[in-house]
Structure 1
């Protein structure tokens, strides 16, 4: 009998939980008013537009006619479930660059990059409400140069529902997609997420009753998506304890199954795709690939860039590394001194403030190899001038970072003006030496630069491990996983916690024009999980040997691990960020191991044995 704690046996009868922005696609109008949008202040005028569109056939053309910011709200009230996390996003298109759009989600949140004109950009915010209804929408702010009237286009406010008030039908002018889910005997273990190409969670569901059927409809624009279904116990939804199944379908079948372990992830594209195309265009030939096969296909696509030389980096910086996202002052955007939430302590003027010599912070900016060049053998091309991993940074802070690995600092010996830190690694990281930690705003940026390096140079990176003591600490000597497990887990955590920004998208486009290749993990963040898994160093190994684990089971209940068909030699438990919380050797044969986890939640369990490694999710309740 499959045992469970009392909480795990509760049948929570509920449907999918998500807030719905009414008419977020702006396809439903009553005259010049978009249905569902109840607050349109007098300082703005809104009309339907069909010429500048992100998705569907129409968008909202917002004309800002005032400098009184409190008179520019564009809002509606939506129903939500208290305590449930929602991921909101909206696309905006600036025409002149003298008005900023600010996302409103039960309060004023993040701004758009107003200097980025003539293209669509996305603003996102994740929020857990404490009430059953909240206001969502936008407010518009004039900046220097505003002439009294300026147009901003708005589209695809997510999560969205049909417009209403406009007759029958589904209200979906894009592709209507349906999820059909049948749960097994333990429905409460099942959850799922549907993510965009930028890893924004658009829809999610959990809290299901056992042996029940559910159906949910979504309206998806052309683009790339990833559907992930989870089982908290690690035995899927079929076929050991019931006959659960799922099908995600629209114009075709995008994902289906039921017999999996802890999770199953499927990437798919609707229409012509987006962000460079998942399987078409620049990334032709990648459709349906995963694991290291996908990594090799990406290597073949990006390996032939044209090295411009180390000196040419200055020219690239002066044109493409300017602050159009924070202070918007046109100074050099330095990831080691930029303060996203306030005024920078100092700024660098392009060209004139190039290093040179330095003695303190603020003296000059130079060229920071985020992946230190000593790790690949010195000033060797094309690595030495590959701008995908070389950022403009304060020369002094760059010098303090030296060639130390990136990491999470436990005790800082030096902290820069924006909070970047140098010091001893935090306990539990998996590495005990000196590390350098950038601020949270840019952790995803450097993580994706590392995933790029692992892919672009997979033909040679396996030989770099012995180039220095620090490369030896970070690299594992292979050309597939590339990184030691501690570094891989941390990079995945940074990648997930700091999603791709508009700054990164713009930079990727500029690098493509400059040297002729792209960073695939900026265009398709979901490919990190497709190649390396979602945080466990055994994530791919476990799937590769699943056929050998049919009779190998691990159950967790009553604060105890129970083993069937496996003799563990070591157990490792990681939290969802990838940090090790328990690492315990098993010295004798046993079928049970007491295990008290730090707090309630989902953890990654790794089991080493003489048979084969296992990796699965466990839940502390």
Structure 2
């Protein structure tokens, strides 16, 4: 694959004596109502000195934004940088009404402030590595959001690194983000110009974003997010992700020291929905199919979802073959119309073997590649055998290679430290890794399908809430994973692992399409595919 490449950095006009340092970043020096050295002030904004709302020192800049025309709201200066120099730029922003947000500019538009955080300081920061020796522009642009009334004051202070401070230092004094602080960690691949990302809130407003990166470079983008629901989207313009064919790129979202999701091996884009705040955040406002669950959180939400999805129309165990022949075809990887087998699929290379619908149904098998059958991801021995409707519920039964299915048996899913068997796509059977919370034999699918399987388990915990508490004692494997309750359902080690898988492997188009097909087939949906945030609302983040 040949990619379009290279990131062009603009060489700008005015040099500063201290390379990498902002002049008058503390806004202590003013002339005729304008902060000294801040030379790019557009027509849509005006400035004045503030001595009442101040982050540090005796003055801050009060920016009065009086237009929704975003091309007229830039506030900048030019500084000199050296090639290869890495600098941590930061500034503090104070919103007064919540109808305007600020976006950090460092040789390009970078991170947004959170407009909903009013009457307190929040910090924006960006780590920049200079590609050439020359001048770049730094500063801010101001954007209106819902609620902007045509005029709003935003205070800014302590733009670092300031003249007289260490180039590359973070500055900013003390205090930090006063709500949910974190970072978006990014390692770019060989074609970083294709990579972009953004975090949007429940109103689809962008809270943070990034693009215009250098190849094979690490970035740490600071985040400061209020309580609420957010969606992280990472994009690759060429459509082959950031790992692993053209460099070992990766990303990770970290909030308050906890990794919420990470990855790198995707196609055009990958999304992750998360909720911040105690108790899972604001109760969801739902309509349509999920209207009866609106306003609920915790196990009350889970029970409401049970009432919505229970009573589906079972199509029988034999009907699964028909579903697979129409709705379990590979239209996502090789796109060859073969059966999409989660235990054989290789997302980044050719599959070891393929199955034709119907004609390659099991049957007998002597090894991998013989035939495909019906894998109860939630083993049927756990619910007592060939008992309906669980035995034919397509939301947890997947087309898989018969031989690999037999090797998995009824072992719980887990993470393997020492494999006794490895399938041709890398699925593992073996001893659980140390620290998992379980020491028995487990089966580990490849990362590509871990989230899919976790959401199937959350579905089972919800759809069969009325009977699942009695399944713990049905086998030693069910006893390892189930805790005998109808609310949490799973043992702590298992629920923690499922949430990790759910976070690290977000909902894909494959899952969305399969959920739609399952709804048409048997009349109910998997709520955790439609609303991934339900996992956090019910079982916590």
Q: 2:393 matched to which residue of 1?
A: 386
Task: Choose from 313, 336, 350 the match for 2:357.
Answer: 350
Q: 2:408 matched to which residue of 1?
A: 401
Q: 1:441 matched to which residue of 2?
A: 448
Quote how far apart the aligned CAs of 1:207 are: 6.7
Helix, strand or coil for the counterpart of 2:354? coil
Matched, 1:301 2:308: yes
Q: 1:31 matched to which residue of 2?
A: none
Distance 2:340 2:495 in 1: 27
What's the TM-score once normalised by structure 1's chain length?
0.48
Distance 1:495 1:414 in 2: 25
Task: Choose from 266, 272, 293 the match for 2:281.
Answer: 266
Q: 1:140 matched to which residue of 2?
A: none
What's the TM-score once normalised by structure 2's chain length?
0.55
Distance 2:230 2:492 in 1: 39
Task: Choose from 465, 477, 481 the match for 1:474.
Answer: 481
Distance 1:353 1:341 in 2: 24
Q: Is the 8 A contact 2:279 2:540 kept in 1?
A: no
Distance 1:506 1:200 in 2: 27
* Count of aligned pairs between the two proteins: 332
Distance 1:268 1:381 in 2: 33
Q: Is the 8 A contact 2:280 2:297 kept in 1?
A: no
Helix, strand or coil for the counterpart of 1:530? helix
Quote how far apart the aligned CAs of 1:186 are: 4.0
Higher gyration radius (CA): 2
Q: 1:229 to 1:365 in 2, by over 3 A?
A: closer
Flag as ranges the 4+ runs of structure 1 deviating above 2 A. 77-81, 128-133, 168-174, 185-197, 199-208, 228-233, 262-269
Q: 2:9 matched to which residue of 1?
A: none
Task: Choose from 421, 424, 435 the match for 1:428.
Answer: 435
Q: 2:81 matched to which residue of 1?
A: none
Distance 1:438 1:478 in 2: 26
Quote how far apart the aligned CAs of 1:80 are: 3.9
Task: Choose from 408, 417, 421 the match for 1:410.
Answer: 417
Quote how far apart the aligned CAs of 1:192 are: 5.2
Distance 2:332 2:287 in 1: 30
Quote how far apart the aligned CAs of 1:265 are: 3.9
Quote how far apart the aligned CAs of 1:170 are: 3.8
Distance 1:459 1:294 in 2: 14
Q: Is the 8 A contact 2:280 2:540 kept in 1?
A: no
Q: Is the 8 A contact 1:365 1:395 kept in 2?
A: yes
Distance 1:229 1:267 in 2: 21
Deviations 1:45-64 (A, max 9, x none): xxxxxxxxxxxxxxxxxxxx
Quote how far apart the aligned CAs of 1:132 are: 7.1
Quote how far apart the aligned CAs of 1:303 are: 0.5
Q: Is the 8 A contact 1:231 1:263 kept in 2?
A: no
Quote how far apart the aligned CAs of 1:288 are: 1.8
CA-based RMSD of the aligned residues comes to: 4.3
**Which ranges in structure 2 are unaligned for 5 or more consecutive residues?**
1-54, 57-68, 71-106, 113-125, 132-140, 156-173, 183-198, 210-220, 232-252, 259-275
Matched, 1:187 2:176: yes
Bigger mean CA offset, 475-484 vs 286-295: 286-295
Distance 1:423 1:229 in 2: 30
Deviations 1:297-336 (A, max 9, x none): 0000000100000000000000000000000000000000
Q: Is the 8 A contact 1:189 1:232 kept in 2?
A: no
Matched, 1:497 2:504: yes
**Which ranges in structure 1 are unaligned for 5 or more consecutive residues?**
1-12, 15-26, 29-76, 85-127, 134-163, 209-213, 221-227, 234-259, 270-277, 535-621
Q: Is the 8 A contact 1:229 1:264 kept in 2?
A: no
Matched, 1:313 2:320: yes
Distance 2:143 2:319 in 1: 56
Q: Is the 8 A contact 1:336 1:397 kept in 2?
A: yes
Q: Is the 8 A contact 2:454 2:502 kept in 1?
A: yes
Deviations 1:270-312 (A, max 9, x none): xxxxxxxx52100012222110000000000000100000000
Q: 2:13 matched to which residue of 1?
A: none
Helix, strand or coil for the counterpart of 1:427? coil
Which structure 2 residues correspond to residues 211-222 of structure 1 after superposition, within 5 A? none
Q: 1:528 to 1:353 in 2, by over 3 A?
A: same
Q: Is the 8 A contact 2:414 2:443 kept in 1?
A: yes
Deviations 1:311-369 (A, max 9, x none): 00000000000000000000000000000001101100000000000011000000000
Q: 1:232 to 1:371 in 2, by over 3 A?
A: closer
Distance 2:414 2:377 in 1: 12
Helix, strand or coil for the counterpart of 2:281? strand
Distance 1:336 1:232 in 2: 33
